[in-house]
Structure 1
Amino acid sequence: MKETLALRGGPRTVTRNFTWPVFDESDVAAITQVAQSGQWGNPDCSGLVEKFENEFASFCGSKYAIACANGSVALRLALMASGVKPGDEVIVPPYTFIATASIVVEANCVPVFVDIAPDTYNLDPNQIEAAITPRTKAIIPVHFAGQACDMDRIMAIAKKHNLTVIEDAAHAHGGVYKGKKLGSIGHAGCFSFQSSKNLNAGEGGLVVTDDEALYNMMNSLRNVGRVKGGQWYEHHYLGCNYRITQFQAALLSQQLARLEEQTRVRDTNGKYLSSLLAPIDGITPLTRGHGETVHTYHIFIFRYDKSKFGGLSKKEFAEMLAAEGVPAFMGYPKPIYEQPVFQQKNFMCYALPDTVDYTRVHCPVAERACYEEAVWILQHAMLGSKEDMEQFAAAIKKIQHAVRHD
C-alpha cells in the first residue's frame, strides 16, 4: 500500500523536532556574569577572550589561537599574515561558502578554482598541481561538511612548491585526521562560530597556528595594527578592529565543553546513517576512509540520482524530504565561480589581471553536485538518536516508493 507523502497531506515520517543551539542555565549564567561585570568589549579586561583562545588552542593541539569577528575574517587574517602580495594566486575549491574565495579577492589576490573529488566533495589533490603557476602562493583546502581533506597529499604538494596551507575548518570543529585535529595540520586553521556551526556563539571566528611570526602578525591585524608592548594609539600595520566580545568568549567556553561529546554523537550517527542509505537505489553517501579519524558531520551529504526516483528533480526531492521532517535541503545552487560577483567581476581588486575570466571556468564535479546530486542533512539533526537515523532512511524510501508508483 502506497503511503501519502507529507507534502501531499500525509503524516510526517520523522517525529522529532530538532532544535539548535543546545544550551542550558550554565550558558545563561556565563552571559549574565559578563553583563553584570560591565566589561563587555575587548580589550579583554576580564581575560575571557584569552581564556577561550587558550582552551581552543589546547583542544586543537596548537600553540596559538586568535579569536576574531567571524570565520571569513579568520581566513582573511591568515591569508594576509602569510605574506601574499597583490596579484598572487590562491587555490580554492568551488564547492564551499563564498568567503573561502571572496577573502582572496579582498586581499587583492586571485582565486584559482580547482574541482572537488566526487566521493568526498573536498578539494581534489589529483588536480592541484596542474593549477599551480609561478604566482601561486597558497592553498585553502576546505574540510567540507566536516570530512577531512587528504592533508598528507596537500601538505606534500605545498612543501614541494613552497606554498602556504590555510585550512578552512569552518565545518570541522573537533574533526580528526590521522590523529591530528583539523585546523592544526596546515600553517594555519580557520574556524567559524556563526549560528549554524557545530560550535556556536551567533558569530565569531578563530585561527590556530604553531607559527609564532604568523600569530604575531594576525594578532596585530585583528587589533588595528597594534603590536605587543606598543601604545594603544600606535599602529604598525594596516589592520582593523576584528576583535570579538567577552560575551562571545564566555559563551564559547561553555559550548566548547559540550563539543567533544556532540562530535562523537554526530560521528556515530553519520556512520550508521550511511549504512542505512547505501543500500537504497539512487542514494550514495559521501565516502569515508580517507584518513579521517573523526568526521564532524556539520552536514551529512549524499548523492541523489533522480533516475532512480522517477525523474524527480533534486529540488523537488529535497522539498519532499524536508516535509517528511528531515532537516534537509539541496545545498548550494551553483559553484562560487558562477555567482554574479565572479561572473561579472564586481569587486575592487586592482591586481586582478584582465585575462582572468570566471565565465570560462568549469569544474564538472562541483557543477554536478550543485545542479543534480548533493542533498544535505543539517548538523543538529545528526545529534539525534539511532531511531531518528532510521526514520531519515524510512523517509527516503517512502518518497522513492511514492514517486515510482505515481
Structure 2
Amino acid sequence: MKEHLAINGGDKSITKNFPWPIYDEQEVEAVAAIVRSGKWGNPDCGDAVEKFESEFAAFCGSKYAVSCVNGSVSLRLALISCGVKPGDEVIVPPYTFITTASSVIECNCVPVFVDIDPETYNMDPKAIEAAITERTRVIIPVHFGGLACDMDAIMDIAKRHGLRVIEDAAHGHGAEYKGKKLGSIADVGSFSFQSSKNLTSGEGGIVITDDDDLYAMMRSLRNVGRIEGGQWYDHYNPGCNYRITQMQAVLLSSQLKRLPEQTQRRNDNGFYLNTLLEKIEGITPLKRSEEITMHCYHIYIFKYDASKFGGLSKNQFAEMLTAEGVPCFKGYPHPLYKQPLFQNKNFMCYAIPETADYSQVNCPVAEQACSTDAVWILQHAMLGEPEDMEAFAGAVRKIQLAAI
C-alpha cells in the first residue's frame, strides 16, 4: 500500500487547485478607477478609506473602525489606546502568530503567556485567572483559526479585575460568538488583511470599537498624532503614519461583498469535514461549542494521534497529506515563548524587568500541539465543494491504511 501514496510516486488524492485570493473584473476596475483618478493618498483624498471603514464597522456591528497598515500595528494602536504604561503586564496565548506578543513588547509592556484549552486551542480562561497580578492591565484572547474564544468567561474575568480586553481577530473575519461578530465583543477588536487572511488587500489591518475615547485615540495614533478639528501640523499624541491607501480601501470594499457567502461556505464545509474526520481513529477535530454560531475556518485544525498511524510523526503525516494534494501545514514548531526573541530577551525595551524569565515558561498543551498533535488545513481549501471535504478525509484514510 505504501507505494500508492503520492509521496512515493502514486496518484494524488486531490488534483484540484484552490485559488486565493478570489477576484474578478470588479476588483480590477475598482483599483484602476483610483489609479486613473490620480487621487491615491489618504487622508488628503481618503473618501474610499472612510467608506470602507464605515462598511466594515457596520458588518461587524460596531460603532467605529480605524484602518491601518497591518494587523501588527492594529494591535499596537489598541494597546496604547487602552492606556498601558511601561512595565504593565498583558496576558496572551503562546499558540498564535508572533505579533500578538511582540506588539506588547513594542509598547514596553510584559507579555504573560497562559496555556490554551486542549479541546479548542484557544486561551484557557482558568489559566487567565491564575496569571493576573497587580500589574496586569490587558487580556488579548486570540480567536485562533477563526474559532471564537470563550468570551463570556473572559469578559467576566476582565470585569471583576478591572482589565481591558482586546480581541485578536486576525483569523476571525465574519465568525460569530452567540450571534455577535468576533472583534465586536470586547473593548477593541483587531483584524489583519494580510494576503492569507479571509479578507485581504495583500497587507492592511483595522481596529473596531464602540468606545468614543478609544476610537479618538486610535484614529489619532494612526494619523501622526493629529486630532479631529486640529491643525494639520499640530500633533497631540505619539502616533505615526499608519494609514492605508485608497487602492487598498476599494479592494477591501469589493472583497467584503464576497465575505458573507465565503464565510458561510467555510462554516458548512467545516461542519461536514468534522463529521468525516471524527470517524477516523486517531483524528480529532477541535471542539466547537453551541456558542459558536459561525466559524470562518481561517485554519481548520485537527488533532493527530501518531499511535493510530503506525507511529508516523506529525511532520511526516503532514508532508504525506500535502503530497496527496490537501493544502495543509504542520503548524507552529514551538510556542511563542520558545522563540529566540523571548529566550534571548532581545527586547530593546527599558521597562521589562529581569524577573521576566521566559526560559522557565511551560505551557504543556501548547507544547503538545506544536510538537505532536496539531495539523492545519488552510482557509482557501475550505472554499471547496462537499466532495472536496470527502477527498480530504479520503486522503487521511489512505495514509492510515498505508501506515498500519
TM-score (norm 1): 0.99
Deviations 1:109-155 (A, max 9, x none): 00000000001000001111110000000000000000000000000
SS of 1:372 mapped into structure 2: helix
2:248 corresponds in structure 1 to 248
8 Å CA contact retained: 1:13, 1:395: yes
Alpha-carbon separation, structure 2, partners of 1:24 and 1:46: 24
Shift, 1:15, TM fit? 2.6
Please tell me the root mean square deviation across aligned C-alpha atoms, in Å. 0.8
1:306 matched residue in structure 2: 306
Report what 1:316 is aligned to: 316
Q: Distance in 1 between matches of 2:235 and 2:390?
A: 57
Looking at structure 2, the residues matched to 230 and 116 of structure 1 have their Cα atoms a distance apart, in angstroms, of: 45
Inter-CA distance 72–290: structure 2 relative to 1 (3 Å threshold): farther
User: Equivalent residue of 1:78, what SS?
Assistant: helix
The equivalent of 2:113 in structure 1 is 113
* Distance change (3 Å), C-alpha of 1:310 and 1:44: farther
Q: Per-residue deviation at 1:88?
A: 0.3
List per-residue Cα deviations over 1:77-136 (Å, max 9, x = no partner).
Answer: 000011011000000000000000000010000000000000100000111111000000
Paired position in structure 1 for 2:187:
187
Match of 1:28 in 2: 28
Query: Aligned AA for 2:77?
Result: L
Residue identity (%) = 69
Question: Partner letter of residue 161 of structure 2?
Answer: H
Partner amino acid, structure 1, of 2:65 = A
2:35, 2:119 → 1: CA distance?
47
SS at match of 2:119: coil
Instruction: Give the deviation of 1:279 after TM superposition.
Output: 1.0
Match of 1:161 in 2: 161
- 2:285 corresponds in structure 1 to 285
Closer/same/farther in 2, CA of residues 374 and 44 from structure 1, 3 Å limit = farther
2:171–2:191 Cα contact (<8 Å) kept:
yes
CA distance in 1, matches of 2:246, 2:165: 30
Write out aligned runs for 1:325-344 (5 A): 325-344=325-344
Alpha-carbon separation, structure 1, partners of 2:94 and 2:44: 37
Letter aligned with residue 50 of structure 2: E
List structure 1 runs of 4+ shifted beyond 4 angstroms.
none
- CA deviations on 1:37-92 (whole Å, 9 max, x unpaired) are 11112115140000000000000000000000000100110000110110000000
Structure 2 runs not aligned, ≥5 long = none
Whether 1:42 and 2:42 are equivalent positions in the alignment is: yes
Q: Check conservation: 2:170, 2:192, Cα contact below 8 A.
A: yes
**2:389 aligned with 1:380:** no
Alignment-derived partner of residue 149 in structure 1: 149
Q: Secondary structure of 2:31's partner?
A: helix
Task: Give 1:3 shift.
Answer: 6.2
2:293 match: secondary structure: strand
Task: Determine the structure 2 residue equivalent to 1:261.
Answer: 261
Aligned residue identity for 1:180: K
Distance 2:365 2:43 in 1: 46
Match of 2:358 in 1: 358
Q: Is the 1:3–1:398 contact (alpha carbons within 8 Å) kept by the matching residues of 2?
A: no
Change (3 A) 1:44 1:306: farther
TM-score by length of structure 2 reads 0.99
Whichever residue aligns with residue 350 of structure 2, its letter is Y
- Mapped to 2, the partners of 1:372 and 1:403 lie a distance apart of 17
Deviation of 1:230 after TM superposition, in Å, equals 0.9
Q: How many pairs align?
A: 404
Deviations along 1:331-355, one digit per CA (max 9) or x if unpaired, are 1111000000100001112110101
Q: CA deviation at 1:289?
A: 1.1
Instruction: Give deviations 1:260-288, integer Å, cap 9, x for gaps.
Output: 00000000000000100001011000010
**Residue deviations 1:184-234 (CA, integer Å, cap 9, x gap):** 000000000000000010000000000000000000001110111111111
The answer to whether the Cα contact below 8 Å between 1:150 and 1:290 also exists between their aligned partners in 2 is no
Task: Give yes or no for contact 2:166–2:188 (8 Å, CA) kept in 1.
Answer: yes
Find the counterpart in structure 1 of residue 295 from structure 2: 295
Residues 2, 403 of structure 2: 8 Å contact kept:
no
8 A contact 1:53–1:66 mirrored in 2:
yes
SS of the residue 1:292 aligns to: coil
Distance in 2, Cα, partners of 1:22 & 1:89: 40
